[in-house]
Amino acid sequence: MDELDSAIIRLLQTDARQSNRELARQLGIAPSTCLERVRSLTRRGVIRGYHADIDPAALNRGVQAMVSVQVRPLSRAVINAFKASAAEMPEVMSVFVLAGGDDFLLHVGVQDLDHLHAFLLDHLSKRKEIVGFRTSVVFQQVQKAVPTRLEDA
């Protein structure tokens, strides 16, 4: 990736809905050059897609939490089964498989604290492979763009 690719990524992370013509104008390059660069970034897997940034509170998910989960036995079958099951739970927004003291981190979004409590009791505490979990309620989230180069971080 060169500086132009990095600039394209920064601009698309800010507003992925802008037209190719507008993107090219901001970069000071021809629209055809810009389009080819974006297509190349997509082919190479740097750009994986374009997504809407949704406010969880607008979808009645005003309470978010991070739930650290430990499972046993630690086997590929147990890890894959729990990962698939957690990803299907409507309350779970993201599933992270971890190394270290915890095996999973679940990003959960629910209506209120009562629903969070119900989720923990109904979906996690009853599962035989879960030997422990800890919950941290999220007060605020600051989301930032992915730096295009480590030197920019």
Number of other residues whose CB lies within 10 A of the CB of residue 8? 24
Rounded to 5 degrees, what angle do the CA atoms 4, 54, 19 make? 35
Q: Is residue 83 domain-shared with residue 116, that is, in the same domain?
A: yes
> Which residue range forms the structural domain that includes residue 27?
3-43
Confidence (pLDDT) at 53: 85
81: left (phi over 0), alpha (psi -120 to 50) or beta: alpha
Is residue 150 assigned to a domain?
Answer: no
Confidence (pLDDT) at 1: 86
Is residue 145 assigned to a domain?
Answer: no
pLDDT of residue 21 exceeding 70: yes
Confidence (pLDDT) at 74: 93
Q: Is residue 64 domain-shared with residue 104, that is, in the same domain?
A: yes
For residues 110-125, one letter each, b for 16 or more C-beta atoms within 10 angstroms of the residue's C-beta and e for the rest, the string is beeeebbeebbeebbe
DSSP character at residue 145 = P
pTM given for the model = 0.83
Residue whose entry in the numeric block shows the structure tokens 């209506």: 111
Distance of alpha carbon 95 from alpha carbon 141, whole angstroms: 17
128: left (phi over 0), alpha (psi -120 to 50) or beta: alpha
Is residue 89 assigned to a domain?
Answer: yes
Confidence (pLDDT) at 150: 62
Is residue 53 assigned to a domain?
Answer: no
pLDDT of residue 151 exceeding 70: no
- Answer whether 67's CB lies under 8 Å from 108's CB: yes
- Answer whether 110's CB lies under 8 Å from 91's CB: yes
Rounded to 5 degrees, what angle do the CA atoms 136, 139, 140 make? 120
Q: Is residue 23 domain-shared with residue 89, that is, in the same domain?
A: no
Confidence (pLDDT) at 33: 97
